[in-house]
Amino acid sequence: MTELNTSELSFEDALQKLETLVRELESGRIKLDDAVTAYEQATMLKKFCEDKLKAAQLKIEKLEMSPDGELKPVPLDAKED
């Protein structure tokens, strides 16, 4: 297994690599040293994907019409009145 560099990965590429690593680990057909490396890479990819999702969630807002007719951005998970 090779060293993993996440700096140039997109979320989709990281998720695909994570799924591949999980399949390899679940198969049980890789050597122990490779399995340990794959597990470490999978852990790093999982954190990378979680961080990307969290960052995207912070950027997502919905637009609401205020009583005076203006549109204003509101966090997507804001409680409805």
For residues 54 and 74, the answer to whether their CB atoms sit within 8 Å is no
Cα(3)–Cα(70) distance, integer angstroms:
51
Half-sphere exposure of 46 (CA within 13 A, CB side): 9
- On the question of pLDDT at 18 being above 90, the answer is yes
CB 74 within 8 A of CB 61: yes
Q: pLDDT-derived band of residue 10, with 50, 70 and 90 as boundaries?
A: very high
pLDDT, tens digit (0-9, with 9 covering 90-100), for 21-44: 999 999 999 999 999 999 999 999
What was the pLDDT predicted at 5? 81
pLDDT digits (tens, 9 = 90+) for 34-81: 999 999 999 999 999 999 998 888 788 777 888 888 888 877 766 655
> Tokens 């804001």 correspond to what residue?
78
